[in-house]
Amino acid sequence: MHDFSQMRREYDATPLRKTDLPPHPFQAFQTWFDEYLLTQPNDPNAVTLATASRQGVPSVRTVLMKGADPSGFSFFTNLNSEKGQQLLQNPRASLLFYWPVLHRQIRIDGSVVLMSREKVEEYFHSRPRDSQLVAYVSTQSQEIENKDVLENAFLEAKAKFEAKEVPLPETWGGFELSPCYYEFWQGQPNRMHDRVFYQKKDLDWKKGRLAP
């Protein structure tokens, strides 16, 4: 068994004060995202998505965020997948952007709603064609005998839709998360980390500080 107890590093980032962040949390998110994009161009939109079943059993995975604005954050998935089913049963979720290069994290909690089929279809057909075909044939999160099953189904779909538009699968959709809470975490020396949160109050946002 590995002993991780002595694995540690020091954080030496610039301190984060409440006054350093704007009144609206999305403005703060946008600034931090743009700063991270300058340091790490690969998958800057990768985010950890936490969901729970109707019974409260949690699960977590990394997805790619495909849209963000002050009203919310959007991503796409097979609706029959584990995360799709959990979001349909229990429409609340939590997102975590982790950017170790900058010693930063952003946590975003909120409720989720299904995106319109028009938005889903527009995004689906903007994807590379082979990605569309994989989405068409994949029974995401379901057990399959081996990878050959998926690869053969892909080749069959590729031949079937040659020179044709790949149809949007009925089971493929998108979700939009409407935030009610943001937390901006900035690593600091001696684990005295800075944590500034925004809590939605009616149409306004309350900003405060949390102990590390």
Q: Which active-site residues does the annotation give?
A: 191
DSSP string, 104-170: EEEEEEEEEEEPPHHHHHHHHTTS-HHHHHHHHH--TTS--S-HHHHHHHHHHHHHHTTTSPPPPPT
Amino acid identity for residue 51 in this structure: T
Q: DSSP assignment, residue 5?
A: T
Asked if residue 197 lies in contact with residue 106, where contact means CB atoms within 8 angstroms, the answer is no
CB atoms closer than 10 angstroms to residue 191: 10
Q: Which two tokens stand for residue 79?
A: 């609706």
Closest CA to 179 of 90, 96, 71: 71
Q: Tell how strand 172-186 and strand 46-52 pair up.
A: unpaired
φ, ψ at 192 (rounded to 5°): -90, 60
Strands (DSSP E) along 54-103, which ranges? 58-64, 67-69, 72-78, 92-99
